[in-house]
Structure 1
Amino acid sequence: MSEIPRGRSETHDGDTHLLRYVVELPHPQAVVWEKVASPEGLPSWLCAADPLEPRLGGAITLRWLNGETEVSGRVTAWDPDHVAEYTVGAPHGRIRFHLE
C-alpha cells in the first residue's frame, strides 16, 4: 500500500486497485449529497449521469466530461444522505461515496 495525500492506494491480487480518499469539505452534507448522488450534481465536478435511478439496483450510466469514456452499471448501495455506490464497467468498477 502506498500513501498519497488525504488517501491511499491498495493493490489486491495483482490487478485490482482500491483508491480511498478522505476529504473534508466546507459545505453542508445535504449540498455534498446533491453533488455525488444526482444527475444534476455529478456533472459539475465529475461526470454526466444519465440515467441515474436513485435507488438500490437502479440503472446508471456515467459519461466522463472529456467525452472519451462511458460506462454503465447499477446502484449497488443507497442510503439517502449518506451512501451512494455505483458499480460500473471497466476501467472504473465500484465508485462509493460515504458521507458523515
Structure 2
Amino acid sequence: MNRLIDAGTFVQHDGRPAVRFERTYPHPVERVWEAVATPEGLANWFPSAVRIESHAGGAITFSGDPNLPPMSGTVLVFEPPRRLAFTWGGDELHFDLEPAEAGGCRFVLVNVLGDRTAAARNAAGWSVCLAELAKILAGRPAEGPHSDTAESWRSHYDAYVSSGMPYGAAIPGAPSTD
C-alpha cells in the first residue's frame, strides 16, 4: 500500500520556486527506480514518452504529451538507484529515492519551476501522475495520466489554487485570457 506523506507543497529549492512531493512505497528502492527512471517504467505514469541517455550530461527527449510539443533536455544527475535529475523545458525535475522502513522506498519528486506561476498547474499534473504511479506499483491497472481513468487534473488544480499556491501560468487546452 502507498502511504501519502504530503499532497504537494510549494517550496524553495536552492533559492528557486518548486513543487515537492514525497511518497513512501512498500517496495525496494530498486523496484521504484525501475518505475521512475527507465523509459519503460516512465511510460506508465509520466506525461510524455521518454528516451534517456543514462549518464549525467546525456540527452533526454520527451514526446507524445498531448499538451506539449516534443522537446529535449539534459540529464543533470544519473546515480542509479538513488538520484535522477534532468531539465524539462524551462523546469528541472529531481527524483530522489532512499530506503524506508520495512524494506520500502521513500520517493521525493521536486519540480523546480522556471515560472513560479506554474506551481498550481504543475502540482496538479504531478498529483495525477503520481496517482498513476501508485497504481502501477500496487499492481493495479493504470492507463496513464491522460486517460479517462486518471484522477481529475481540474479538481487538484482548484484545490492547489484554493490553498494559496501560486497560479496564473497558461493551461494547455484552456481558452486564452489575453
Corresponding position of 1:58: 58
Does the aligned pair in 2 maintain the 1:34–1:41 contact within 8 Å? yes
Corresponding position of 2:49: 48
Structure 1 stretches of 5 or more lacking a match?
Answer: none
Say which structure is richer in helix.
2
Corresponding position of 1:10: 11
Say which structure is richer in strand.
1
* 1:34 partner SS: helix
Question: In the aligned structure 2, how far is the partner of 1:11 from the partner of 1:77?
Answer: 19
1:99 aligns with 2:102: no
Question: In the aligned structure 2, how far is the partner of 1:34 from the partner of 1:71?
Answer: 23
Does the aligned pair in 2 maintain the 1:84–1:97 contact within 8 Å? yes
Question: In the aligned structure 1, how far is the partner of 2:34 from the partner of 2:93?
Answer: 16
Question: In the aligned structure 1, how far is the partner of 2:86 from the partner of 2:56?
Answer: 10
* 1:35 partner SS: helix
Corresponding position of 1:68: 67
TM-score by length of 1: 0.77
1:12-59 Cα distance to aligned partner (Å, 9 max, x none):
9xxx63001111112221111011111111011113102x10101110
Larger C-alpha radius of gyration, 1 or 2? Answer: 2
Q: CA deviation at 1:11?
A: 6.3
Structure 2 stretches of 5 or more lacking a match?
Answer: 99-178
Does the aligned pair in 2 maintain the 1:37–1:54 contact within 8 Å? no
Runs of at least 4 residues off by over 6 Å: none
Question: In the aligned structure 1, how far is the partner of 2:97 from the partner of 2:12?
Answer: 24
TM-score by length of 2: 0.45
Pairwise CA RMSD: 2.0
Does the aligned pair in 2 maintain the 1:48–1:62 contact within 8 Å? yes
